[in-house]
Structure 1
């Protein structure tokens, strides 16, 4: 029993250490950029030694990807959750309002995400991992649109459900790129809502 308690305590401590390292890394990456940050700086910001770092991550790249995955999964869950609230007849404008209300539009996250995209563009293995996670987000959107009936009448220009999901992700990417420059989060939410409503309706829907 004592051994089991010790194992649980160690496991909890390790989970907490990993979470603290990720939080500290997020702050440092957002402030300085991925390519300008060392393991020592992450450890200092988190208040841990290099030993604590290496007991959780093999490299700064691994930590960076864990950080990206954590945020990417949050976004996928936000989109899936917002789209799951309707019944079988998806009310597109109302669903878009919910998505834009909860979707992560954080300037620090966008800085880190942009660094990760640039990093992935130069590393095929990282790029494939990034593509896999973006595919999960598209799948969450496509699944809900595919199950929708009634008011979810997609414009023919999008081709099919998968095309519509790609368009949703492209709209998000475009709006967040603009947000990096003008720093206006509320304007970004409003534009994203209008774009998604226009993309996902046949003209009968109106922005919320």
Structure 2
């Protein structure tokens, strides 16, 4: 009986904080964004200056992949909300805002990593970063279809980096 009372108390507290499933999702989404931002800050602090080292393309791709979350369940949830965004402007607005926060935090790390290889984006840094994020999410969305999804993700991101950058 005490367990049931605790469950009701938890449910009451839960519903007092979250009115809809969207509210729960966006709270989780903000938490995930904060985790990624912390990871990006740690990676940026760990990256050498251009005078210290010259990076290979493989090391740049590895840095990018370490920065991005690998969580197929999360990607499935996010993809579901992205599908809803097609018909729900309020969901689209929040997802766009969060995507831009991720881009804003990831972009300096990507640009610095490219600088270490002597490469630069063919287009704007913003568009390049969005393409890397899109490639990562696309590979993650397809991961259940592959025996080795990490190899696919690496190949997709490496292809984006090679295709959308040039030697300086």
Where does residue 143 of structure 1 map in the other structure? 108
Given the superposition, is the C-alpha separation of residues 172 and 128 from structure 1 closer, same or farther in structure 2, using an over 3 Å criterion? same
Instruction: Find runs of 4+ consecutive structure 1 residues off by over 6 angstroms.
Output: none
- Aligned residue pair count: 158
1:132 to 64, 72, 97: 97
Where does residue 86 of structure 1 map in the other structure? 47
Q: For 2:38 and 2:145, locate their aligned partners in 1 and report how far apart those are by CA, in whole Å.
A: 26
Q: Deviations over 1:73-93 (max 9, x none)?
A: 323433443344223327363
Question: Secondary structure of the residue that 1:51 maps to in structure 2?
Answer: helix
Cα drift, residue 203 of structure 1: 5.7
Matching of residue 63 in structure 1 with residue 24 in structure 2: yes
Question: Secondary structure of the residue that 1:70 maps to in structure 2?
Answer: helix
2:33 to 72, 76, 84: 72
Q: For 1:54 and 1:114, locate their aligned partners in 2 and report how far apart those are by CA, in whole Å.
A: 25
Cα drift, residue 192 of structure 1: 4.0
Cα drift, residue 114 of structure 1: 1.3
Cα drift, residue 62 of structure 1: 0.5
Instruction: Tell me the TM-score normalised to structure 1 length.
Output: 0.61
Cα drift, residue 97 of structure 1: 1.1
Structure with higher Rg: it is 1
Q: Deviations over 1:59-107 (max 9, x none)?
A: 2220121122222332343344334422332736323213324532222
2:130 to 120, 143, 166: 166
Q: For 1:63 and 1:182, locate their aligned partners in 2 and report how far apart those are by CA, in whole Å.
A: 30
Q: For 2:150 and 2:112, locate their aligned partners in 1 and report how far apart those are by CA, in whole Å.
A: 30
Task: Quote the RMSD (CA, aligned, Å).
Answer: 3.1
2:120 to 149, 154, 158: 154
Any stretches of 5+ residues in structure 1 without a counterpart? 1-43
Question: Secondary structure of the residue that 2:119 maps to in structure 1?
Answer: coil
Any stretches of 5+ residues in structure 2 without a counterpart? none
Relative contact order, CA 8 A, sep 6+: which one is greater? 2
Instruction: Tell me the TM-score normalised to structure 2 length.
Output: 0.73
Given the superposition, is the C-alpha separation of residues 183 and 102 from structure 1 closer, same or farther in structure 2, using an over 3 Å criterion? farther
Greater shift in the superposed pair: 92-101 or 64-73: 92-101
